Amino acid sequence: MIGTLLDVLAIPKDDPVAFTFFTGYMAMFAAAVFFFFERSRVDGKWKTSLLVSGLITGIAAVHYYYMRDYYAATGTNPTALRYIDWTLTVPLMCVEFYLLTKPAGAKPSLLWKLVLASAWMLVTGYYGEAFTDGSVMHSTVWGVLSTVGYIYILWTAWFGEVKQLADKSNNPTVVKGIRTLAWFVLVGWAIYPIGYMCMPGGWLNVGLGWESSNVDLFYNIADAVNKIGFGLVVYNIAISSSNSEVTA
């Protein structure tokens, strides 16, 4: 029965990448439904945060639906579709930092700085990957430029304005949640530079012979963990804070 279903869905039984494209699509679709329905259970100031979590996973689910078909038809990395997905969802993940610290006094300037940093990171990363000429110089230059945006987001979450506002909130749930999201940025997002360095001309491609097709599996798993995990942390902050405010 399972084998027949996989054949109908054009998922080879011995191809874990194709399998994770399908499971990633289903997992993120289910997460989006969950976040949208749970909005009714949280206090008004957290509803937008859960809405954004639902949008992140919902947008990713749509893209994974098309990436699954693209991979099934070509067997190659859907680079353009991935970056379209990331260009929409990664800035929204940065928006979560602003929304969670807004009650503590976060200003719109923080929002725009994080969004612009994420856009810079993705645009330069896409140019470096999609327009590579196979040279180490091209890969390194655009990789370094992309890393500037990543480092800014990472620093802001761990030590900068986001961290300071979380501490200022005097809400232990927010402080712990922001620290968890910062760990996602540090550890979870690290898989993406690894994939970048596997393209022709990348350090891992040149030094170890790793190919970009080999990292699709890790990209798919990382996307699901990062996007759903991000949303679950936000959900925990929202539901815990709402419950504590009701009982106070």
pTM of the full predicted structure?
0.90
Per-residue model confidence as pLDDT tens for the chain (248 residues): 444 444 445 555 668 888 889 999 999 999 999 999 999 999 998 999 999 999 999 999 999 999 999 998 888 888 899 999 999 999 999 999 999 999 899 999 999 999 999 999 999 999 998 888 888 898 889 999 999 999 999 999 999 999 999 999 989 999 999 999 999 999 999 888 888 887 777 767 777 776 666 678 888 988 999 999 999 999 999 999 888 765 55
CATH number at residue 155: 1.20.1070.10
How many alpha carbons fall within 13 Å on the CB side of residue 150? 21
Specify the number of domains making up the chain.
1
Report the C-alpha gap between 16 and 221 in whole angstroms. 11
Q: Which phi and psi angles does 119 have, rounded to 5°? A: -65, -45
Domain range for 135 is 2-247
